[in-house]
Structure 1
Amino acid sequence: MALLSRSLLAAAIAFSSFSSYASLEKKQCEVELSHGLIITDDVIRIVDKGQTRVQINNNNQLFIRGYWVDLNPEETKVVEQFSLGIRDTVPELVELATDGVNLGLSAIEQVVEGMSDKEPEVLKTQLQYVERALMDKFKRGDDFFFIAPQSLSKIDDFFTKEISQKIHSAVHGSLGAILVSLGDAFKSREGNIEDRINDMGQRMDIISKEIDKSLQKKAEQLEMKASEYCECLNSLDVTESRLQKIVPGMADFDLVQIKS
Structure 2
Amino acid sequence: MAFRHGILISPEQIRIQTSNRTVFQINHDQDLFIRGEWITLNPAEQELVRQYAQGLRKFVPELVSIAVDSVELGLTAIENMLAGIGNSSQQQEWQALIRETTYQLTSRFVRSGDHFYLAPQSLNELDAFLHGELKTQLKDLAKYTVGAVWDALRDALRQSEDNFERTESQNWQPADELLAKINSGLELKADELEQKSVLFCQRLTELDQIETQLQQRVPQLLAYDVVTMK
- Scaled to the shorter chain, the TM-score interval is 0.5 to 0.7
- The Cα shift of 1:129 comes to 4.3
After the TM superposition, which parts of structure 1 deviate over 6 Å for at least 4 consecutive aligned residues?
Answer: 157-160, 179-183, 194-197
Residue 175 of structure 1 is matched in structure 2 by: 145
Q: How does 1:103-122 map to 2 (within 5 A)?
A: 103-106=73-76, 108-109=78-79, 112=82, 114-115=84-85, 116-118=87-89, 119=91, 121=93
- Find 2:50's aligned residue among 70, 80, 86: 80
Residue 39 of structure 2 is matched in structure 1 by: 70
The residue type equivalent to 2:59 in the other structure is T
The residue type equivalent to 2:15 in the other structure is R
For 1:139 and 1:106, the matched residues in 2 are separated by 24
The residue type equivalent to 1:132 in the other structure is Q
Q: How many residues in Structure 1 have an aligned counterpart in Structure 2?
A: 216
1:243 is the counterpart of 2:210:
no
The residue type equivalent to 1:94 in the other structure is V
Residue 162 of structure 2 is matched in structure 1 by: none
Q: Relative contact order (alpha carbons < 8 A, sep ≥ 6): 1 or 2 greater?
A: 1
CA RMSD of aligned residues (A): 4.5
The residue type equivalent to 2:199 in the other structure is E
- Find 2:114's aligned residue among 143, 147, 166: 143
SS at match of 1:105: helix
Does 225-234 or 139-148 show the bigger shift?
Answer: 139-148
C-alpha distance 102-122 of structure 1, shift in aligned 2 (>3 A): closer
SS at match of 1:44: strand
> Can you give the 5+ residue segments of structure 1 that lack an aligned partner in the other structure?
1-30, 187-193
C-alpha distance 148-214 of structure 1, shift in aligned 2 (>3 A): farther
- The Cα shift of 1:140 comes to 5.6
- The Cα shift of 1:135 comes to 4.3
Residue 214 of structure 1 is matched in structure 2 by: 185
SS at match of 1:89: helix
For 2:80 and 2:132, the matched residues in 1 are separated by 22
C-alpha distance 108-42 of structure 1, shift in aligned 2 (>3 A): farther
The residue type equivalent to 1:214 in the other structure is G
Deviation sequence 1:43-89 (CA, Å, 0-9, x none): 33334445544332321233444x25233342322211111222343
SS at match of 2:40: coil
> Can you give the 5+ residue segments of structure 2 that lack an aligned partner in the other structure?
157-165
- The Cα shift of 1:170 comes to 5.1
* Contact preservation (8 Å) 2:33, 2:39: no
Query: Rg larger in 1 or in 2?
Result: 2
- The Cα shift of 1:207 comes to 6.0
C-alpha distance 49-109 of structure 1, shift in aligned 2 (>3 A): farther
* TM superposition score normalised by structure 1: 0.58
Identity of counterpart residues, as a percentage? 31
1:165 is the counterpart of 2:165:
no
For 1:220 and 1:213, the matched residues in 2 are separated by 11
Deviation sequence 1:186-207 (CA, Å, 0-9, x none): 9xxxxxxx869955x6398766
The residue type equivalent to 2:207 in the other structure is L
* Contact preservation (8 Å) 2:70, 2:193: no
For 2:6 and 2:25, the matched residues in 1 are separated by 12
C-alpha distance 35-219 of structure 1, shift in aligned 2 (>3 A): farther
Deviation sequence 1:157-202 (CA, Å, 0-9, x none): 779855873563253143267469979x99xxxxxxx869955x63
